[in-house]
Amino acid sequence: MVKKAVVVALSCTFIVGVFLGVGSASEKPAMPALLTSAGQSTDILIVNVMLNRKLDMKIPSVALAKAEDLTGIKTLIVVVGLSNKGLGSAGLDLNAETARVKSLVEYAKQQGITVVLVHTGGAQRRGGGSDQLISLVAPVAEYYVVVKAGNADKLFDKLAAANKAQLVEVETLADAGPAIQKLFQ
């Protein structure tokens, strides 16, 4: 009897989980949104300039965002790309940054927040720790906005297919801002 109850409970959890997943996947990015970094490269500064100064989207930027920063947030934009220098300036190492990002994106999913993965750093922000962070964010992101130079090996195509995410590949860095803005329209 107990065994049956457990099976039913697990099944319910699975079904709810699937519905939540489907629900999240179909959600378009909406305001309010929050911009954060995974890897502490200066790419977040560049995306911030594009979204807020050029496109006036009024999206706050918190490079080291934590779960409590997500209160009331509907969309989390994660700019992925590792900079050891950036990590050093923030007083972090890759393990600490990985733990922060993992905890943040998991919490975002629990809260039904739409996650947008952004990769603008090209080949310089690929491989090693950058790919480690990409593999952390990609499974929970519904949308990827990627500058072509960073997708020469089609990693983001493969991840998008595996995770049923929508991939938007843009030619240049300058195209990334308008592409992100379009997701909200």
Candidates 11-19, 26-34, 48-56, 154-162; binding stretch for other proteins (CB under 8 A): 48-56
CB closer to other proteins, 111 vs 124: 124
Q: Minimal distance in Å, beta carbon 173 to other proteins?
A: 5
Judged by CB under 8 A, the residue of 89, 103, 110, 135 near other proteins is: 89
Give me 72's structure tokens.
Answer: 């009331």
Closest CA to 165 of 133, 119, 125, 117: 117
Q: Minimal distance in Å, beta carbon 83 to other proteins?
A: 8
Q: Is 181 in the site for other proteins (CB under 8 A)?
A: no
Query: Where in 117-136 is the site for other proteins (CB under 8 A)?
Result: 124
- Crossing angle of helices 128-137/94-110, nearest 10°? 10
User: CA-to-CA distance for 10 and 7, rounded, in angstroms?
Assistant: 5
| Pairing outcome for strands 33-38 and 143-147 | unpaired
| Residue 121 CB neighbour total at 10 angstroms | 23
Q: Is 45 in the site for other proteins (CB under 8 A)?
A: yes
Beta strands in 7-164 (DSSP E): 33-38, 75-80, 114-119, 143-147
Q: Is 103 in the site for other proteins (CB under 8 A)?
A: no
CB closer to other proteins, 113 vs 147: 147
Which residues are CB-neighbours of 23 under 8 A, at least 6 positions away? 112
Q: Is 83 in the site for other proteins (CB under 8 A)?
A: yes
Q: Minimal distance in Å, beta carbon 84 to other proteins?
A: 10
CB closer to other proteins, 9 vs 174: 174
Q: Minimal distance in Å, beta carbon 172 to other proteins?
A: 6
3-class SS of residue 92: coil
User: CA-to-CA distance for 173 and 154, rounded, in angstroms?
Assistant: 17
DSSP 8-class letter at 71: T
Q: Which residues bind other proteins (CB under 8 A)?
A: 42, 45-46, 48-50, 53-54, 83, 85-86, 88-89, 124, 172-174, 177
